[in-house]
Amino acid sequence: MTGSSFLSTSELPEDYAQLAATVADFARTVVAPVAAEHDAAHTFPYEVVAGMGELGLFGLPIPEEYGGQGGDYFALCLALEELGKVDQSVAITLEAGVSLGAMPILRFGTEEQKRTWLPQLASGRALGAFGLTEPGAGSDASGTKTTARLDGDEWVINGNKQFITNSGTDITALVTVTAVTGTSEAGKKEISTVIVPADTPGFTAEKAYDKVGWNASDTHPLTFADARVPAANLLGERGRGYANFLRTLDEGRIAIAALATGAAQGCVDESVRYAKEREAFGAPIGRNQAIAFKIARMEARAHTARTAYYDAAALMLSGKPFKKQAAIAKLVASEAAMDNARDATQVHGGYGFMNEYSVARHYRDSKILEIGEGTTEVQLMLIAREVGL
């Protein structure tokens, strides 16, 4: 499965369409039936993740020589959209596992690192995480305080990270962390990235967060107290960690946009179904323009979001600059998901406030889409810069 220089929202190439249909069926028959249960219990859906691994979803953009499917990043995005329609927790587990866990190793790792880590990450039997955000440095990633000091042939890591997805599961294999490894000639922080295996002494995934949404997604603060890893665990060139992380986030924003598009579309689908079935004053509520027009606007938002992430993905696959388009896609899609979740809840009335309805879960889940992997304000800043302001 390879990328096209032009991707249409109305007619996908056959291999992409087949993938989307396969994941849609999996989402409907495997993910959806247990989504509410895991959400209510705040439990990680190991059985669902195993099923995604068997389908090859974690290996979609990973070359076959490293145990992957040999596809591309757009294939991953299509899978995320379908999963996002029914369960954002499951979708973000896949997104973070691939985009933030595996892709940095594929993009910047040595051959030995790729052969050591990628086969298990591509299989879904192991998860990787990306330790970037810190308690005192959210959107300002250059404010990193975690340090990695070279002591002989080992890095000694000290510091804290927060809001790290996939970092504390029973199948978490590694966390790649950004850390200050020195000072540049210009006097600025030298930030590098280092692979830290999950069983490293001194590395602790603290108690999981109690979150508003994404309750079946694994998220922890992390502590590093003299955690020692081999010098060979440096990922990419020393001092290039910040630049490499920016590239990782640019790609990740397309994936998050795809997930958000799925959430927005899921709200449309549930609202259409409900508006046809629910009767008031002797007729289905969908016959009322107030409801019909609200759902029409929801559909328009979802379509616009899909068009935006398709455009960004097409540029990325063709090797052209895509930073601005990725930021636009993330901005448009995350706002579409949040707006559609609010409107879907309104369409459902009192039932929309009940957790047994998926639109209630989307209402809680969607807000983080406007925050994670770059806030709405960060996207606006990036877009403004790209247009010359």
Residues 6+ apart with CB under 8 A from 264: 298, 301, 302, 305, 333, 336, 337, 339, 340
Residues 6+ apart with CB under 8 A from 258: 76, 77, 78, 80, 81, 84, 309, 313, 333
User: What Å distances lie between residue 47 and 90, 142, 169, 173, 376, CA to CA?
Assistant: 11, 38, 13, 18, 33
Nearest to 246 by CA among 234, 236, 258: 236
E strands along 199-317, which residues? 203-205, 219-230, 234-235, 279-280, 283-284
Residues 6+ apart with CB under 8 A from 107: 244, 247, 248
Q: Is 194 helix (H, G, I), strand (E, B) or coil?
A: strand
User: What Å distances lie between residue 228 and 60, 117, 197, CA to CA?
Assistant: 32, 18, 10
Query: Among residues 81, 95, 251, 373, which one is catalytic?
Result: 373
**What CA–CA distance (Å, rounded) separates 160 from 179?**
10
**What CA–CA distance (Å, rounded) separates 85 from 88?**
7
According to DSSP, the β-strands at 127-131 and 147-151 are: unpaired
Tokens of 247: 């590239």
Rg (CA), the chain: 21
Tokens of 359: 């639109």
**What CA–CA distance (Å, rounded) separates 334 from 324?**
15
270 assigned to active site: no
Tokens of 77: 């995005």
Are the C-beta atoms of residues 376 and 313 closer than 8 Å to each other?
Answer: no
- Catalytic machinery residues: 373
